[in-house]
Amino acid sequence: MKILFEKTKLGNMTIKNRFVRSATWENMATEDGHMTDDLYKVYKDLAKGEVGLIITGYANIVKEEQPNPGMMGIYNDAFIDEYKKLTTSVHHYGSKIVMQVAYGGTKTTFNLGERTIYAPCEIAEKTTNVTGKAMTKDEITYIVKAFADAGKRVKEAGFDGVEIHGAHTYLINQFLSPYYNKRTDEYGGNLANRMRFLLEICSKMREQVGVSFPILVKLTASDFYEGGLTFQETKLICKKLEEIGIDAIEISGNIHGKANAMGGEVFDNHQIQEEGYFLEYATSISKIVNIPIITVGGFRNIKTLNKILSETNIDYFALSRPFLTEPFLVKRWKDGNIEPVICIRCSKCRTPERNFCTVFNKK
C-alpha cells in the first residue's frame, strides 16, 4: 500500500515523502533575478517544513525575456554560486529541490514595449492581449540552446533536477497549441510538428545535463477552449516524453485568477474538480505512462490525498498557495494535526511588493 509519508524515487532522486511545492512566483528576487535574503528564507522554511520536493519559482533563461518582476534568473553563469547556497540550505533539511526554467512569451503584461517577445505566430494571447514576434528558425534555435544551457547551470548549482515549463500559455504551450501555432514549417501543423520545439528543448538539455539528471516537464492538461490543445493531444505528448526519457510530468492548467470558481466544468470528457482541479486528467495520464505523475491544483485535505493515492497511479501531490500561508504544512500533517489547509484560495497573495498570504500572514 502506498502512503504519503514514505520514500519514493523520481529518476535518481530519493524523495522523503509525496509532497511537492509546485513552482510559485515569489516576486522577491532582485531586478536582475538574483537571490535575496527573503527569498533564501522562503526556501529554508519550506525545507524545514518537510516538503519532500521543492520546485522553485520559474527562472528566465535569457536576460531580455522577463515575464514578471522579481522572478529568479538562470540566464548566465553568475547565478551558479548563489544557487549553490540555496541548494545546500535545502539539502541540510533533507528536502530535494528542482529549478523550473521558462520562456514566458506573450503571457505577460510586464515591461511591454521595451523588449522583443517571441511567439510561434503573431496571435494575441487570450488573457493579456499581447502579440509577440513570430520566431524565425534561428530564433527557435537560440531559445532551444538557452533552455539547454540553463539546464546545465541548474545542475552545476547543485539542484536535484530541472523542470521545463510547458504549460499556462507560455511559449512552449503556445507551440503545442493549434490556436496559437499556425506555422506552416516543420514547427507547425500536425501534433508531431507542434511538439517539435519542446522535444528539441528536452533533447538538447539532456545532452547538457547527462542521462542521470532528472528532467521534469510541466504541461497544461487542455487549453480548455475551442481550437486549442486537446487532452487527447496532451496524452500523446506525455507518451512521447516518456519515450525520450523525461523523468516525470506535472499536469496543470491555465486557470490563473479563477481558482475560487473551479469545479464542475467538463472539457474533453473529463471534469475539473473542486479539490484537485486536474485530477481526472492526471489520473488518465498515469494509466498510460510508467513515469511519475504529479498533480496540482486546489488540494486542501490530507484525507483526500490519501484516497487519491490509494485509488490511482498518481505519485505526487503539489501545492502552491497553501505553502504561502503555511510553509510548515507538511510537518503539521506529519505531526498529527490533519486539519485542512488554512489557505482560502482568494488569490490575494499577489501584491506589487511581493507575493505572500495577505489574509493570515504578515510580511
Compute CA distances 330 → 44, 66, 269, 344, whole Å.
14, 32, 33, 17
170: annotated active-site residue: yes
Q: Which of 43, 83, 103, 170 is catalytic?
A: 170
Distance from C-alpha of 256 to C-alpha of 15, rounded to nearest angstrom: 29
- Side-chain half-sphere of 330: how many Cα atoms within 13 Å? 27
Torsion of CA 190, 266, 246, 169, to 10 degrees: 70
The answer to whether 67 and 110 have CB atoms below 8 angstroms apart is yes
User: Considering Cα of 145, then 146, then 151, then 154, what sign does the dihedral take?
Assistant: positive
- Count the Cβ atoms, other than its own, within 10 Å of residue 100: 23
Distance from C-alpha of 78 to C-alpha of 84, rounded to nearest angstrom: 11
The answer to whether 165 and 58 have CB atoms below 8 angstroms apart is yes
Compute CA distances 239 → 126, 170, 294, whole Å.
28, 21, 15
Compute CA distances 118 → 130, 142, 166, 281, 334, whole Å.
11, 11, 15, 29, 45
Secondary structure string (H, E, C) spanning 172-218 = HHHHHCCCCCCCCCCCCCCHHHHCHHHHHHHHHHHHHHCCCCCEEEE
Radius of gyration of the chain (CA): 19
Q: Which three cell numbers stand for residue 92?
A: 541540510
Supply the residues annotated as catalytic: 170
